[in-house]
Amino acid sequence: MPHPIASPPAPPSPERARQLRRVALSGLLGTAVEFYDFLVYGTVAALVFGELFFPGADPAVGTIAAFGTFAAGYVARPLGGILFGHFGDRLGRKSMLLLTMGLMGGASFLVGLLPTYDTIGVWAPVLLIALRVVQGIAIGGEWGGATLMVVEHAGERRRGLWSSFTQMGAPLGSLLSTAVVALVVALPKDEFAAWGWRVPFLLSVVLLGVGLFVRLKVVESPLFAEVKKDRAESRLPILDVLRRPRPLVLACCVGIGAFTAQSLLTSYLIAYATGIGYARPQVLTALTVSACVALVVLPCASALSDRIGRRPVVLAGALASAALAFPVLALVDSKSPGLLILAVVLGHGIAQSTMYGPLGALLTEMFGTKVRYTGASLGYQGATLIGAGFSPMIAGSLVAGNGGSSTPVALLLLGGAAITAVTVLFVRETSRSSLIDAADTTTASDAPHTQEISA
């Protein structure tokens, strides 16, 4: 049975338009701060954490161990989705977003103060992993709340475009982290290892202050306020989501391709490319150019999904990512700095961004207001755990076991894109579905126009 088409909304009032812009800016800055902290960790882990926190190990083993701490943050992200999703669906979106940002920035600052293995022995990697878990829990609650705040403020027509501001926080955070790391890696190697690696983490306090200032000025989601007024909130949102798990499973699987590409063509690429002879500044330049391209592609792909639908745009990105998997790694293996830039732009800046752009609107549209924070967060974080959490560690192990061949990396990219492409075939179009009505009196799975699953 086809889902109903939402009627055109009335033109927004000046105050509502002002709030929407403020919420979109809050989502952009907040997610940029979160991804800056999260990606700085991944970048520095690839460059120096192996020797500082896991000394004495074979270089390949040290890199794998460093990426193991990277994976720990991803394992914690679904927990953050459950925790902050529960209270976000019960108490409100805004308060949870302030808390997630504070936790993320605080944990990142403390990483910058950590003593290394030479100073406190085994406690150094233990504390590093603990802070990484805190980061994971915080970002697990951040994305879902920031995205649905924008979507719930945006109305019916341009949810994809407005949600892209939150999605753009990922490349913006990557751009900021890459720029800061590029400055400190220009230091002599001994100085970078001694103190330079700490600077990007300590600078997160400045970004945290800016993000909190903007976020304090936003108002609560109008749809949540309506549900709260009617006392219709779910007592245990996680149980309502899990009672009919098919939407959650599809939400997880549809994002796997984007996150596999994101992790392999950013954090892991630094370790791989420098290992085959590229200079660190060359790799960071490629990532910077790719992030700039992504800042253009993301809103374009998201706006296109408002016009032609979420499914065809995500599918196009997945097919492009699959087709480019082996060519991209071949370009990287050429050892040409120019071809390296082209590889990252094609694989990450264009193909990955096309998959990733519409996900913000798509995942939030799959759940009703009562459980939207929990459902969207779990779907998104499940995708990051499967697609990105272990990909760098698996890729590092397979490459080391195959004589340095990049074939396993290309196969991982291809596999992630294939999962997304197949899943899209089972997802119903959501771009014209309403965020209200039945979805707010039942769970998302009970609402025929918001359950994005074909029979």
Is-contact 44 200, C-beta < 8 A? yes
CA distances (Å), origin 287, targets 264, 334, 366: 12, 17, 32
Is-contact 298 159, C-beta < 8 A? no
Res 66: pLDDT: 62
Length of the chain: 455
Higher pLDDT, 417 or 209: 417
State both tokens at 174.
Answer: 């990557």
**Confidence (pTM):** 0.79
Query: Percentage of the chain surpassing pLDDT 70?
Result: 86
Give residue-wise pLDDT tens across range 66-112. Answer: 666 666 777 788 888 888 888 888 877 788 888 888 888 888 899 89
Mean pLDDT of 294-300: 95
Confidence of residue 234 (pLDDT cuts 50, 70, 90): low
Residue 345, beta-bridge partner list: none
**Dihedral of the alpha carbons of 346, 348, 354, 360, in degrees to the nearest 10:** -170
* The residue to which tokens 């007592």 are assigned: 235
As a whole number of angstroms, the distance between CA 332 and CA 341 comes to 8
User: DSSP assignment of 99-121, as one string?
Assistant: HHHHHHHHHHHHHTT---HHHHT
Res 12: pLDDT: 54
Asked if pLDDT for residue 171 goes beyond 80, the answer is yes
Asked if pLDDT for residue 275 goes beyond 60, the answer is yes
Confidence of residue 329 (pLDDT cuts 50, 70, 90): very high
Give residue-wise pLDDT tens across range 176-207. Answer: 887 888 888 888 888 888 888 899 899 888 88
Res 13: pLDDT: 64
